[in-house]
Amino acid sequence: MDDGLKDKTAKGISWGFVDNIANTGVLAIINIILANILSPYEFGIIGLTSIFITIAQTLVDSGFTGAITRKKSPTREDFNTVFYTNLFFSVVIYLILYLIAPLVSSYYDIPELCSIIRVLSLSVIIGAFSIIQKAVLIIRVDFRKQAIVSILSSVPAGIISIILALNGFGVWSLVALQILRILFMTIFITVFTHWIPSLVFSLKSFREMFSFGSRIMATAIINVISTEIFSLVIGKTNGTSTVGLYNRADKFKGLVTLNIGLVIQRVSYPVLASISDDRERQKRAYRKILRTTALITFTSLAGLFAISEPFILVLVGKEWAGSILYLRILSLSAIAVPIQICCGNIINANGRSDYTLRLETYRTFLTIIPIAVCIFFGIVPMLYSLIFTSAITFTLNLYYVGRVMDYPPMSQIKDILPFLFFAILMCIPVYLLSYLPFLSLFVLVIQLVFGVALTILFYEIFYRCEEYVDIRDEIVSILRKIKGTNVLRKS
């Protein structure tokens, strides 16, 4: 990877992580506080709505936005066409959700679910007003502004939702969190980008982006269904409280997979697309991104597996202890998810969104296995079956990457295998520390310190690869800037 592209990607990844930490990290803290106030049942109710709201947001957000970020020089007509198309879809989708809300409520025999879905669905329309602004920042690889917007949106929404929860509003405090966060985000991102729609709509632009964007949209919808359907099945077969426990474990797992996956996706996609005409250069860039993703993902998820018990007990309490085993299994099943996102990026960057649609179709078909296991055997066997289906989809992703570029599956595996090896070496002793007869908080601190020290030791002594050195140097650079800022403030 040449220096200019390397710097652009490194800065994007750095600020991308800041954005995700500000977004998912702040939200995680807010949800942890709310989990200490509310019950798994109340979180379970919100979990039952997730598939409907997420599909709705995906319909509005994914297809045309993905198409416009892929264009090398999008025009004013392109931006406005996507804006009005997304806004139209959001209104139509809201009306559909409004009408089916009573059916969902009746199916689960939870009367308040009807009004919850109808109110939460408003977030789809509100969010449609900010989609183009997000695309503008993605095209610029400007995640600094996105990070600031995330903080300005999440913090006040979280404070209000916590106040509501403390005053007995229950599940509605969780509804308020989602609605207010999207509302604040729409306002602040519009202010930061200064982008205001004009009365322009191009049928030519619509047709051009629809041919590519429709496949991305279909892929994203299939992905959402295959991911979120588990909450529906668990809710019907195991009860609403179990949905809450499962979703809590899934959210904690998502802190790792989403932070890594979404950052890599948002940063690497425009970078890889911009050099699609130079295949050799693109391959070098992709290989670097793949190995960096593997290093961070394998280490983080292995660590999460090891610290699951004290992590849950310290952050949300004994009432959520039932999610400990769920978190451990989900950590194993998700270990290849960010890498699969990398695969999707390089495939889409080369214009083969038909391949990504095919891959998601395969993944959805495989979802039948864990659903059937859940219905007949329960949630724990279902989670174990996810490891099996994840391994299959991971293999398929590597195969299709090999088809779009000169990078065979075995070469990809050889490139990421060392990171898996060192992650396992770190995980085993850190996991054994969870049996120490001390307070959970003390055990958690010991595990975190030991895990970080062990990882640094491995890569400093045995495998000082370029990817590790870049991450280390970037962290040191950020810490020096923070220290320098503090010194200037004191002086």
pLDDT of residue 265: 65
Higher pLDDT pick, 174 / 2: 174
Q: What is the pLDDT of residues 69-99, one digit of tens each?
A: 666 677 788 888 888 888 888 898 899 999 9
Tell me what the pLDDT averaged over the chain comes to.
84
pTM for the full predicted model: 0.75
Tell me how far apart the alpha carbons of residues 157 and 182 are, in angstroms, rounded to a whole number: 9
Tell me the pLDDT band of 322, cut-offs 50, 70 and 90: very high
Least confident range from 269-273, 340-344, 406-410: namely 269-273
Tell me the pLDDT band of 256, cut-offs 50, 70 and 90: confident
The stretch 139-153 carries a mean pLDDT of 76
pLDDT of residue 62: 57
Tell me the pLDDT band of 175, cut-offs 50, 70 and 90: very high
pLDDT of residue 129: 87
pLDDT over 70 at 5, yes or no: no
Tell me the pLDDT band of 37, cut-offs 50, 70 and 90: very high
pLDDT of residue 132: 81
Q: What is the pLDDT of residues 383-416, one digit of tens each?
A: 999 999 999 999 999 999 999 888 999 999 999 9
Tell me how far apart the alpha carbons of residues 290 and 9 are, in angstroms, rounded to a whole number: 13
